[in-house]
């Protein structure tokens, strides 16, 4: 079997995989917080027909002769550039204007080390990361996202002030007269530093419910996508550390809105055209290789 047949088939597979990435980007053009993917190619294996050699006293050196076997997908990367701001009517909707991720998890997690004092001690990987800030308070007073995951941040100590930002805890409206009840809070808003502020209906005084934390990940491209708008911290991300908005290289927070997808439709359509043409060219390689084989078989009649 001639090598060009394998090269053409590998090219078809690589271009099909790239088209899958492009299709997913276009399908999520209106998905809040979506980060566009990018597929890159790399050369496949080579057969060395003759190696290189040094020159001698009589003859010069010789370069190697190698024949490749096509291409394959080198990587599928996520582009973490910020998306545009999409205004909403909810004061608890927010987006990160810059680097960082919101932290969500379950109610049973508490006292998580932020890693600010020593990044190696960070326990942030116990939580899940997201860029989608569609938050609201549930019936038990927890700040949750659209999938009922609890939002984590820095909660006040006795006296209603947030002191050291060394631990992450579930954000919840403070207890009322008993632990079984929550304070009646009105006019909740989120400022650019992530402070969740409301008006105590009994005293008519503003109180800070909590401060939403933002995780700074040294290598966000190493994050692993999970279902929906979530990312898991895995190998090669570096030590993720949680800060308040605007600290530790994280972006500030903008409320009353969500982050739009960072998909550039013009770029995706141009990539689609070049991918389609590349796919067509590889089909011609397969077709011509087949015709050559047919001619070879037809030599003996």
Residues 175-206 pLDDT 10s: 887 777 888 998 999 999 999 999 998 889 99
- The verdict on 69 and 89 lying in the same domain is no
- The verdict on 191 and 291 lying in the same domain is no
Cβ-in-10-Å burial (0-12, 13-18, 19+) of 156 comes to: middle
- 268 pLDDT higher than 90: yes
Residue 227 CA to residue 143 CA, distance in Å, equals: 21
What's CA 264's distance to the chain center, in Å? 16
Whole-structure pTM value = 0.87
Confidence band for 159, pLDDT divided at 50, 70 and 90: low
Confidence band for 48, pLDDT divided at 50, 70 and 90: confident
Confidence band for 281, pLDDT divided at 50, 70 and 90: very high
State residue 272's pLDDT score: 97
- The verdict on 162 and 181 lying in the same domain is yes
- The verdict on 21 and 164 lying in the same domain is no
- 218 pLDDT higher than 60: yes
Average pLDDT, the chain: 91
- 249 pLDDT higher than 60: yes
Which DSSP category does 247 fall into?
A: S
- The verdict on 139 and 192 lying in the same domain is yes
- The verdict on 273 and 128 lying in the same domain is no
Confidence band for 301, pLDDT divided at 50, 70 and 90: low
Residue 156 CA to residue 241 CA, distance in Å, equals: 20
- The verdict on 112 and 213 lying in the same domain is yes
Residue 125 CA to residue 233 CA, distance in Å, equals: 6
* Per-residue model confidence as pLDDT tens digits over 100-111: 999 999 999 999
- The verdict on 180 and 274 lying in the same domain is no
Domains: count for the chain = 2
**Residue 245: domain span:** 85-259
């Amino acid at each position: 079997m001639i090598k060009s047949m394998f090269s053409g088939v590998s090219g078809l597979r690589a271009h099909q995989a790239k088209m899958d990435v492009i299709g997913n980007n276009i399908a999520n053009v209106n998905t809040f917080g979506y980060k566009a993917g990018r597929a890159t190619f790399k050369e496949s294996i080579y057969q060395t027909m003759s190696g290189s050699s040094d020159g001698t006293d009589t003859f010069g050196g010789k370069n190697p002769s190698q024949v490749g076997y096509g291409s394959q997908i080198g990587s599928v990367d996520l582009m973490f550039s910020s998306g545009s701001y999409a205004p909403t009517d909810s004061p608890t909707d927010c987006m990160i204007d810059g680097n960082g991720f919101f932290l969500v998890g379950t109610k049973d997690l508490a006292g998580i080390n932020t890693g600010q004092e020593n990044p190696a001690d960070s326990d942030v990987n116990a939580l899940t990361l997201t860029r989608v800030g569609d938050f609201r308070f549930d019936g038990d007073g927890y700040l949750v996202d659209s999938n009922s995951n609890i939002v984590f941040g820095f909660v006040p100590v006795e006296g209603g002030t947030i002191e050291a930002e060394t631990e992450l805890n579930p954000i919840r409206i403070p207890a009322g007269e008993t632990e079984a009840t929550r304070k009646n809070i009105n006019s909740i808003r989120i400022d650019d530093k992530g402070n969740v502020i409301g008006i105590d209906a009994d005293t008519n005084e503003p109180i800070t419910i909590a401060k939403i934390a933002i995780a700074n990940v040294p290598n966000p491209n190493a994050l692993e996508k999970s279902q929906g708008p979530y990312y898991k911290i895995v190998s090669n991300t570096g030590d993720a550390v949680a800060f308040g908005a605007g600290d530790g290289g994280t972006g500030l927070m903008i409320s009353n809105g969500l982050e739009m997808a960072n998909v550039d439709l013009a770029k995706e359509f141009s990539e689609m055209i070049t991918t389609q043409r590349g796919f067509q060219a590889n089909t011609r390689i397969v077709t011509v290789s087949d015709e050559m084989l047919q001619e070879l078989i037809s030599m003996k009649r």
